[in-house]
Structure 1
Amino acid sequence: MSEVTDNPIAAKLKGRARTQAPARRADPAPSRWAWRMQRLMLTPLFRLGLRVGIPFAITLSAGTWWLSNPENQAMILDAVAQTRASIEERPEFMVNLMAIDGGNPDIDTAIRAAVPLDFPISSFELDPSAMRDTLIGMAPIKEAAVRIRPGGILQVDITPRVPIAIWRTAEGLTLVDHEGTLVSKIARRDTRPDLPVIAGEGAHEHVIEAMELVDAGAPLGARLRGLVRMGDRRWDVVLDRNQRILLPAKGAVRALERAIALDGVDQVLSRDIARIDLRLSDRPTVRMNAAANDTWWTTRQLNSRNQ
């Protein structure tokens, strides 16, 4: 033990070791950038972006690049068209015929011409609402319903307009309903002998009043030929033998009833007269025909000479 202590070299090394500073341990704290990164990774929104946003952006970019190729676009469109056609052309979706109820042969023909369809046709290619609008726009049809029945039948139910009078104009004869709507044209009067004839400007707009006059003139029977609207203000009743009853603008029905009552008492309409003017209720006047007027003047002159 003394030998070791007495060794000068060992003593020198031991003294140097005592004077040397102790070694420093490594700092466990992270660097500033490492700390910021750790804090960022703890943020929920940042982690959501890493987990969802980046994959989505990569996928979107790849998809956009792939779809930018015209060949790929055409391939997708062809696939969609083939898939759609395979569904639409299945037998259960095909319409094979059209059934029309509520009309007549002329209306049926007009409907098939207005809505031309090449059967069989897929129900996906039909638009019942648009077809209904087209049918309602047709003059003879008042209301319509369009639907696709089971079994591939396109069902069309219509309510036709019912004409109640014939409107005579310079363009010809036209059937009108109670609303004054033009239904259809006819070639001759004897096509509908059951309907009265009205004429004059705006006559179809007052068809209800005209029908009231026709009903009031029922006692005239076959002598009643029609009604003429004068100046879009009042009516003239036209009888056979070119006779007319001029009615006032107001109270026309009552005035006509007075004329019929007068004829029942004095047989006025059976005489050779041309007009009965009832426009002035307190002063009705009668106009004779030219031949009757000449005869009356001749008779009056002879009577004056004899006196």
Structure 2
Amino acid sequence: MKILITGANGLLGQNAVKVLTTAGHEVTATGRGVCRLPAAYKPYRYTDIDITDKKSVLTQVAAIRPDVIVHAAAMAQPDTCELNKEACYDTNVHATRYFIDAAVAVHAKLVYISTDFVFSGDDGPYRETGIPAPVNYYGETKWEAEQMVQQSRINWAIVRTVLVYGNILAGTRSNIVTWVKENLEKGNTIKVVSDQVRTPTYVEDLVRGIQLIIEKNAGGIYHISGKEVLTPYEMAVQVAEYFGLNRALMEKVDAAVFTQPARRPLKTGFIINKAEKELGYSPVSFMQGIRNMFPEKE
């Protein structure tokens, strides 16, 4: 199957290229600027694409003629989105419209990657039937893009996910596991939020969920995340325990301690029964995800 992946230089994109090429699919990886993917996972094609340029998107997708577009590229930092709303809208909403139009033109399926931040966080964890009510601009743009996908004439699936962590294959990208590990190893004190809850998602599980959707030609909305409902502080404790680091360096705090441009939903996370039942999706535990990232510690 011919698959085009946007945002291929990122954590999810790199892992998706690795898994889908290994599974025998013909993958075109796209990103902004030079390719940061390891050569080890070729054969894949890489092409530089500006997703906010409609003509470029339509032209390149028409040339590639993929069967499936996995649209993972986004401006995903909530504070950056709050401070740069025009750029955020261009990247998260306009670009999604361009890929919808491109999918229509080549009769491709669109798998759109979304977020728990489409929800208010008042009453999570959420099922797919939960009512979106974002509390920040990032969530607003992702929800608007979701609605465009749902109202389109294409074969579509929406994958919502939560707090993705794992190893980036090339380059550097911080996540909760590496942030806690690196700071505690340096002896730094860190403040970790204890009044937010999430269902953290190991990146390889997320990719497997996407692969299942593609290969089963599943449609609709799927919540793809871990199963454990954890606070960031509880996640940090597990990281410290695994590496034998000093938990006394961690201070448990409420989110109100931090002054951030974008409000965060307090209680999100997902109920993943639908993905388990319909796709056969089965995520690892958070501790197993840490082990998978750093197996040399065993």
Normalising by structure 2, we get a TM-score of 0.20
Greater Rg by CA: 1
Structure with the higher fraction of residues in helix conformation? 1
Structure with the higher fraction of residues in strand conformation? 1
Q: Which has the higher contact order (CA 8 A, sep 6+)?
A: 2
Normalising by structure 1, we get a TM-score of 0.19
